[in-house]
Structure 1
């Protein structure tokens, strides 16, 4: 009863704050919250949502037919595979489960019968649009907007018709780091419990694991993998190349304008007295391995060579921290002391690390910290962002402890 009383008081205070905001004209800026119960991320979402959503809205807008959306969704396979588990969790706990695409359209739902009836009244069902633009502040919208797990309790919802609800949601990412949808568990406000968000995270991890396992076969062509490893693939099959030639190919992939023979010699050997014939021999062998995709007078790639480091560089340049963290599998060609490789290694490491430390997403810091075991600042950043009840705090604390002792 103590928890129920606390939730009741929390709901009453949030309702008062909501009244102040919901009655402000769209063109006005509400005053700062009076209560500390109104979280910053919720207040920011209210500010954005009030421009497009009437708090008095009663149902979510929707699409007439989502058959094609669901058929083409990368989430269809994983969700279908986990459907029995999702139904069991939702029905046993009195919750409703829903999965959306990356735009916030519900593609699939299941759960407790009583909750399904309530959900139908607000169109919380397949085809409905639950992004921030259409339905304001809610768990799904917040998770998709922020890119991290989110909860929205009672009057934190902008739409008054949802004040009897509590929602827990987390974004789902594809193998390349792209946000492909979100998973949500919702119920009546009095069933609110922080452990539900842990369950949502676990379910999302299961979906993402299946997504990674079901990746299509490597595409035809040449692919260079040089983050945390060093290998060249042709049509998905590894080609054996000496480390030096992999270093040369990596530099050519990262420098699309290529090198003069003298520039490449310096990037590979630095000040060492190595014959130019040695470099020419390596490039000739590499040219045969890539099917003649390297030009003669100026060393540059003349054909398509996919490269994970190039993909990472593009993600950093685009400010896509989520994709950058997913793509980062470790330092560029670990163990190489080639001057050009060392320069690029530092460039990529600093780029990802800076983006992670500037991000307010705990997921970024936790994931990057897995591959930056000695980085004390990254682990401390993760602990600042993780909620006090997040089970991952133990793992991050252990990483920090080990890094401090190193």
Structure 2
């Protein structure tokens, strides 16, 4: 989490009440006309542009629903004691509460002074409530999830007037692959606003992320030591797809495993067709020796069928990705980027072509080679 991206809502020398008075007319202009005045901070302007101010939708989960989500977010749950230790005492001294939400914006833990919690209850900022931007408008929790960066939202920067008395500071907790695990927020009266709060939240989240990475690396090392390594090419992963060991495959980090993974042949982005074998604490994915073929179907919706022995995997395609694959099918010797650009309708730059090919290669695993770009399996095209 880069310090250069931190942008506090007001300077330490600014008076919060005076700041709120200057922001209120800007909010009124936007809420009445949908025009965003120039002085509005860029992160707030982006959030306001994403708004569709219908009625707020807050339907908190019951106690059983909260417990279920806490169990689902086991990694996040394991970090709560650390976050409380680093933030709760200072937050209480400053008249703030600590709020921790999961990867979908559901508030799962709320701690802090009772008077602050009673006030947050009044606006629906409670355990079990979902606080994405689409639910309650511009707020720091929702904006941090969308921006994937720390955000402080002050007073009338909130989309809804009932939140104008608040300042909220949030930072997303990201895993090593960049996925949002949850969000950590300090919130209180706008009169408690201070730029140091942003740095404090970010430091705690960075420490929590580091602890999570250390734990995951230790668990992967244990998995690699526990499961014997076959001589054939394979990848050993934990249930979430984190790579514990690889041999004969150029992968690292994390694989996107298909839902409902079970033993047997399957297709995995980044690997292609493999055979999955359940092991203690994860999966071994072995290279498959069955012939793989690609079938392209244009109608009624573009898609690719990847046939591997007796199994098939359907991959939905955009119109552009179907065009690229059909073009590669028509040029089995391959094409470089310039050749692709010259033949793709509507393509304007080599950069955009490379970007599309990169996205397509991630979706189709090892079926497309580069230098030049070409398909490495037989292909049948239905126009």
TM class by smaller structure: 0.5 to 0.7
Q: Structure 1 residue runs of 4+, over 6 Å off?
A: 219-224, 231-239
Matched, 1:62 2:64: no
Q: 1:221 to 1:49 in 2, by over 3 A?
A: farther
Matched, 1:115 2:111: no
- Is the 1:115–1:187 Cα contact (8 Å) retained in structure 2? yes
Aligned position for 2:362: none
Q: Deviations over 1:132-180 (max 9, x none)?
A: 0111001101100110000100000011111111111011112432111
Aligned position for 2:155: 154
Q: Deviations over 1:165-209 (max 9, x none)?
A: 111101111243211111001121111111111111111112212
Q: Deviations over 1:53-104 (max 9, x none)?
A: 46xx9xx442223111112213111113443333212212221111111111
Q: Secondary structure at the match of 2:35?
A: coil
Rounded to whole Å, the distance in 1 between the matches of 2:182 and 2:86 is 19
Matched, 1:71 2:71: yes
Rounded to whole Å, the distance in 2 between the matches of 1:100 and 1:292 is 37
Q: 1:122 to 1:255 in 2, by over 3 A?
A: closer
Moved more, 14-23 or 163-172: 14-23
Q: 1:232 to 1:127 in 2, by over 3 A?
A: closer
Rounded to whole Å, the distance in 1 between the matches of 2:127 and 2:19 is 31
Rounded to whole Å, the distance in 1 between the matches of 2:209 and 2:152 is 20
- Is the 1:61–1:129 Cα contact (8 Å) retained in structure 2? yes
**Structure holding more strand per residue:** 2
Long gaps (5+) in structure 2: 1-10, 252-268, 275-283, 293-307, 309-320, 322-350, 356-383
Rounded to whole Å, the distance in 2 between the matches of 1:84 and 1:163 is 29
Q: Secondary structure at the match of 2:78?
A: helix
Rounded to whole Å, the distance in 2 between the matches of 1:185 and 1:213 is 26
Rounded to whole Å, the distance in 2 between the matches of 1:6 and 1:294 is 66
Matched, 1:39 2:41: yes
Rounded to whole Å, the distance in 2 between the matches of 1:291 and 1:141 is 37
In the TM superposition, residue 232 of structure 1 has moved relative to its aligned partner by: 8.1
Rounded to whole Å, the distance in 2 between the matches of 1:133 and 1:179 is 17
Rounded to whole Å, the distance in 2 between the matches of 1:190 and 1:32 is 25
**Structure holding more helix per residue:** 1
Q: Secondary structure at the match of 1:250?
A: coil
Q: 1:257 to 1:141 in 2, by over 3 A?
A: closer
Q: Map 1:341-360 to 2 at 5 A.
A: none
Match of 1:18 among 17, 24, 27: 27
In the TM superposition, residue 297 of structure 1 has moved relative to its aligned partner by: 11
- CA RMSD in angstroms comes to 4.4
Q: 1:93 to 1:7 in 2, by over 3 A?
A: closer
In the TM superposition, residue 5 of structure 1 has moved relative to its aligned partner by: 5.8
- Is the 1:173–1:179 Cα contact (8 Å) retained in structure 2? yes
Rounded to whole Å, the distance in 1 between the matches of 2:50 and 2:113 is 32
Rounded to whole Å, the distance in 1 between the matches of 2:43 and 2:61 is 28
Rounded to whole Å, the distance in 2 between the matches of 1:257 and 1:61 is 43
In the TM superposition, residue 31 of structure 1 has moved relative to its aligned partner by: 2.5
Aligned residues: 254
Q: Secondary structure at the match of 2:250?
A: helix
Rounded to whole Å, the distance in 1 between the matches of 2:130 and 2:43 is 21
Rounded to whole Å, the distance in 2 between the matches of 1:234 and 1:105 is 29
Aligned position for 1:8: 17
Aligned position for 1:193: 194
Rounded to whole Å, the distance in 2 between the matches of 1:291 and 1:110 is 43
Moved more, 64-73 or 148-157: 64-73
Rounded to whole Å, the distance in 2 between the matches of 1:291 and 1:119 is 48
- Is the 2:82–2:208 Cα contact (8 Å) retained in structure 1? no
Moved more, 90-99 or 128-137: 90-99
- TM-score (ref. length: structure 2): 0.55
Rounded to whole Å, the distance in 1 between the matches of 2:270 and 2:73 is 33
